């Protein structure tokens, strides 16, 4: 399999590579347009801030490349958020593939009596699972999250989590998939989801 990982300054690339190695898969880390366009599948990881991530993509011309991809693409964490139209983080215009927005958890609004902690760090349930990305993944499985911003519920949501409010934990539009949680840190469940993506 020709698997490419998008190379830019916001990718949690090493941990994703380790997770793929555990599955016996070698991936090419690249910012080359032709290598990304010709790959069988593309993983779009991300950590950090949406604005700096988008700036890095634009600087390399990768924003336009990602929008052109026709093969299965998996955005992870910030990589998922950048698939959306807009993020409240630094008022950032994103890639516009998913017609919905990314918002900041506001603990005092969500739960004024028992404020939630922001960022959400740790294990949380994933439910309302749809599509083959979650083949043989049980409802209410635990996955590992680290995030202050969340994707609002939308028609393309294929997995839901709850942190004071319901939010979209996973999304799919045509060939673009995204997961807010870290598959590479989500133990056997995360490994299964990665394997399912590779088998799409």
Largest CA distance in the chain: 53
Q: Of 52, 69, 64, whose CA–CA distance to 10 is shortest?
A: 52
Q: Which of 89, 184, 191, 199 is catalytic?
A: 184
State how far the Cα of 29 lies from the Cα of 156, in Å rounded to an integer. 28
> How far, in Å, are 33, 41, 181 from residue 159 at the CA level?
30, 21, 11
Q: Is 168 a catalytic residue?
A: no
Q: Of 159, 162, 187, 163, whose CA–CA distance to 74 is shortest?
A: 159
Q: Is 182 a catalytic residue?
A: yes
Q: Which of 34, 77, 89, 199 is catalytic?
A: 77
Q: Is 184 a catalytic residue?
A: yes
Q: In this structure, what DSSP letter does residue 182 have?
A: -
Q: How many CB atoms are closer than 10 A to CB 160?
A: 17
Contacts of 168 (CB under 8 A, 6+ apart): 100, 150, 151, 152, 153, 154, 156, 157, 159, 160, 180
Tokens, residue 45: 């990881």
Tokens, residue 152: 């609002």
Q: Which residues are catalytic, by number?
A: 77, 182, 184
């Amino acid at each position: 399999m020709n698997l490419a990982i998008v190379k830019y300054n916001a990718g949690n690339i090493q941990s994703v590579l380790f997770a793929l190695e555990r599955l016996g898969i070698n991936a090419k880390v690249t910012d080359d347009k032709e290598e990304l366009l010709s790959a069988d599948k593309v993983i779009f990881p991300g950590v950090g801030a949406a604005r700096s991530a988008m700036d890095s993509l634009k600087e390399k011309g990768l924003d336009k490349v990602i929008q052109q991809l026709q093969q299965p693409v998996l955005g992870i964490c910030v990589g998922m958020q950048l698939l959306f139209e807009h993020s409240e983080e630094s008022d950032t215009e994103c890639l516009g593939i998913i017609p919905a927005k990314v918002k900041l958890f506001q603990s005092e609004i969500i739960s004024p009596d028992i404020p939630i902690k922001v960022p959400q760090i740790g294990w949380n349930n994933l439910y309302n699972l749809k599509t083959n990305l979650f083949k043989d993944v049980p409802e209410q499985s635990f996955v590992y999250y680290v995030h202050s911003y969340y994707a609002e519920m939308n028609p393309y949501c294929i997995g839901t989590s709850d942190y004071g409010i319901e939010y979209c934990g996973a999304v799919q539009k045509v060939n673009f998939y995204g997961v807010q949680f870290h598959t590479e840190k989500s133990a056997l469940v995360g490994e299964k989801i990665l394997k399912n993506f590779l088998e799409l």
